[in-house]
Chains A and B, each alone.
Chain A
Amino acid sequence: NAGVTQTPKFQVLKTGQSMTLQCAQDMNHNSMYWYRQDPGMGLRLIYYSASEGTTDKGEVPNGYNVSRLNKREFSLRLESAAPSQTSVYFCASSEQGSRYEQYFGPGTRLTVT
């Protein structure tokens, strides 16, 4: 039982390049999330998927797109990377319902030069 896995762990991009961050969970959770973590800002929600087949914007969606490929997988795409997207990205999953915690992946450290 791996929990939430993310690939890659590290990535360096040049401005304007594109890439997709992959996330998968094996806990049969309905809901999945993408966050970014920046110093002094805590975690900010980029996009979420409440259930398979649905996606919605979070606090900071500009410059990103997502795909809920199936119940297990939720990918985050940067179409044209910018230095402001340098951050650590975390994927999370959970059961639906306010009393359930979210489970986090190990993160992807992205640098855009």
Chain B
Amino acid sequence: GDSVTQMEGPVTLSEEAFLTINCTYTATGYPSLFWYVQYPGEGLQLLLKATKADDKGSNKGFEATYRKETTSFHLEKGSVQVSDSAVYFCALRTSGGSNYKLTFGKGTLLTVNP
């Protein structure tokens, strides 16, 4: 079945450091790939997405490229801020019947210190 593996946290960085959170996936067919962010005490928000191979999703300085050859969708940001402290989830969505269900990784907690 479909699965998502993302790097285990927690990840602790200083402000302005470079961020990479690795995400790899296993899926049948051609999934769409997503990164969601969850700030403390809140629900999940879509951060970025890519719907086909070689697409790059970007938002708020974050980027991720859909790499079909390595089945990866790593999240990167060049200079993190304290406000980026949150849990980040990688997810994929495939056409399983009429469901198109979303499969999540377990999440990576990021803490950015001033």
Contacts and interface: CB of A to CB of B under 8 A. Distances in A.
Contacts of A41: 106
B45 interface: yes
Contacts of B95: 97-98
A102 B99 contact: no
Which has the most chain A C-beta neighbours within 10 Å: B42, B46, B98? Answer: B98
Interface in A17-51: 31, 33, 40-43, 45, 48, 50-51
A101 B107 contact: no
Contacts of B114: none
B73 interface: no
Contacts of A98: 30-32, 51, 93-95, 100
Contacts, number: 65
A97 B100 contact: yes
Interface residues of A, number: 29
A31 B100 contact: yes
B72 to A, nearest CB: 18
B44 A90 contact: yes
Prevailing SS type, chain B contact patch: loop
Contact of A101 (B46, B97, B98, B101): B46
Contact of B104 (A43, A48, A54): A43
25 contacts: A31-B100, A33-B101, A41-B106, A42-B104, A42-B105, A42-B107, A45-B101, A50-B99, A51-B98, A58-B101, A90-B43, A90-B44, A96-B100, A97-B100, A98-B93, A98-B94, A99-B51, A99-B93, A100-B93, A101-B34, A101-B46, A104-B43, A104-B44, A106-B42, A107-B42
Interface of A: 4, 31, 33, 40-43, 45, 48, 50-51, 54, 56, 58, 90, 92, 94, 96-107
Interface of B: 30-32, 34, 36, 42-46, 49, 51, 89, 93-95, 97-102, 104-107
